[in-house]
Amino acid sequence: MSSDNAPTSHPRRLWLLAVVGALVAGGIGWSTIRRRRSSHARFVAAAGVPQLLDFGMDICEQCKKTRALLSRIEPEYAGKVQVRYVDVREEANDALAEKYRMRVIPLLVLLDKDGVEMWRHEGAPPEAVLREQLSRAAATAQVRR
């Protein structure tokens, strides 16, 4: 075989392919971030009432305890405070976990009707404290209407 038939390396082409690949990957990543951010804004705006975000996962014992407590008392706040479970293992929830600086689970973040953080609690909350915060959020929402 002659050396003319051997594959030749084209450093410029390889470099150009690498740059194009990086730009495409960066564009996809940026559109995903923008989509996640805008979906969070829709998530908050759609509620129109205060929201309690419950960050956790189903294999965490403290998360299970928190969810059981919320399931028991949530009906008392129906229409006044919306409780949303955020499974931290789902990639779609990464932006929310980052936005609310989740470090441990369970994490409860209470937002007013405009999406402004009012209160947060790391770990399973005492029932009295949780009820106090939910009542405060519900009362604040009533006054603003």
Give per-residue pLDDT as tens, 16-75: 777 776 666 665 554 444 444 445 555 555 568 999 999 999 999 999 999 999 999 999
For residue 100, the Cα-to-chain-centroid distance in whole angstroms is 8
The mean pLDDT of 99-113, rounded to a whole number, is 96
List of domains in the chain: 48-144 (3.40.30.10)
91 has a pLDDT exceeding 70 = yes
Of 25 and 83, more confident: 83
pLDDT at site 33: 45
Q: Write the CB contacts of 123 (distance below 8 Å, at least 6 apart in sequence).
A: 62, 104, 106
Provide DSSP, 97-132.
HHHTT--SSSEEEEE-TTS-EEEEEESSPPHHHHHH
